[in-house]
Amino acid sequence: MPHRVTFLTTGLATGGAEMMLLKLCSRLDPSRFAPVVISLSDKGVIGPCLEELGIPVFSVGMYRNCPSPMGLLRLRKLISTLRSDLIQGWMYHGNLAAIFQGAGKPVVWGIRQSLYGLDKERALTRWVIRLGAFMSRYARTIVYNSHISARQHEAFGFKTARTCIIPNGFDTDVFRVDEGARFRVRRELKLDDDVVLIGLIARYHPMKDHRAFLSAAASLAKQCPNVHFLLAGKEVDAGNAALGAMIEEFGLRGRVSLLGERKDIPQLSAALDIASSTSAWGEGFANVVGEAMSCGVPCVVTDVGDSSSVVGDTGQVVPRGDAVALAAAWKSLITLGHKGRRELGMRARRRVIENFSLEMVVKRYEELYESLITRRGE
């Protein structure tokens, strides 16, 4: 019988951590592993996607991840019923729940973000991180998706001896070079074929620093009239008054397209001339960077998490919050011309295939799970 691996996650929204969970569960060898997913909140957007793949998904309905007595009771009952061989925590709240509910079973933690400080986190999350540092000694392994995240958490008190680094993985058959996407998206946006399209695909949140992106866009737009900017993600739409106010403030009306939450991310990524990640904190390994690179698109990223080492020499890295440097990096890629950007993008795609393929990443998780389960049975 395949090993029952229970993933205990904070939630199942559409963030990078949740998408990586979907990719991992969908690719585990079914002859060796039977994944089950429990969300501390609800099934969100990713839950139904997992269920379509035949993966059982449960939710215990803890309101805003607050450990209510009824939610804890439902979780304890569910865990005892599933009879798991291993419990994989996913994100801070899921990790703590895995420790408290996984007595007698190997428990693996999954930390999916960097830790530049607690001041940007919500009060409950700050408490969870502090408690997590103390409780980390009880996890068999702590899997980080970036080297910087591991160093930052270890400095904060997370158990160093438990560290394991497995980066995010990317399906390069789904995220691939697609010249047709370039034309389809430009038709949708009513743009000429020669317009340089620069994109940021990220949910609306202060850590993503849309303001820095738009400030840099305003600077570049004055120098390069043939440039357009694409923004997509949860709450990145015309109904976002704060975002609309920023666009007006920077004089970008007509130069920015707000597409909201989309399901055709592979197409949007492949349609870009330049992809960006402008995060100011919090990122461990930005999925959008690896996805764009897989599509043969060069990236300009802020030096947050492992973005610098992921991009390597296939893109540009700028200090976080530095809109002037961001605009200059974009301009340097624009001056390469379409052919130069394509050559750089193909190097980026090769870098992903060689270092961050989904097959390689899933294999590392499988080897980890197998070793811990086997060791438990000895």
CA distance 305 to 354: 20
What string of DSSP letters covers 247-310?
HHHTT-TTTEEE--S-S-HHHHHHH-SEEEE--SS-BSS-HHHHHHHHTT--EEEES-TTHHHH
Assess whether 133 and 232 both reside in one domain.
Answer: no
Assess whether 222 and 123 both reside in one domain.
Answer: no
Assess whether 196 and 231 both reside in one domain.
Answer: yes
Assess whether 235 and 277 both reside in one domain.
Answer: yes
Assess whether 188 and 93 both reside in one domain.
Answer: no
CA distance 109 to 163: 10
Assess whether 92 and 209 both reside in one domain.
Answer: no
What is the reported pLDDT for 124? 86
Assess whether 224 and 347 both reside in one domain.
Answer: yes
Closest-CA residue to 289 (of 260, 309, 261, 264)? 309
Assess whether 97 and 235 both reside in one domain.
Answer: no
| Residue 135 resides in a domain | yes
Question: Domain range holding 126?
Answer: 3-169+357-377
Assess whether 190 and 151 both reside in one domain.
Answer: no
CA distance 29 to 34: 8
| Residue 333 resides in a domain | yes
Query: For position 217, which CATH number holds?
Result: 3.40.50.2000
| Residue 174 resides in a domain | no
Split into its structural domains, the chain has a count of 2
What is the reported pLDDT for 39? 96
CA distance 65 to 225: 46
Which residues of the chain, if any, have pLDDT below 70? 63-67, 376-378
Assess whether 340 and 368 both reside in one domain.
Answer: no
Assess whether 258 and 321 both reside in one domain.
Answer: yes
What is the reported pLDDT for 165? 97
Assess whether 263 and 321 both reside in one domain.
Answer: yes
Q: Where would I find the H helices in the chain?
A: 16-27, 46-52, 69-82, 92-101, 123-135, 147-156, 179-189, 210-223, 241-249, 265-271, 287-294, 307-311, 323-334, 337-355, 358-377
| Residue 111 resides in a domain | yes
pTM recorded for the entire structure: 0.92
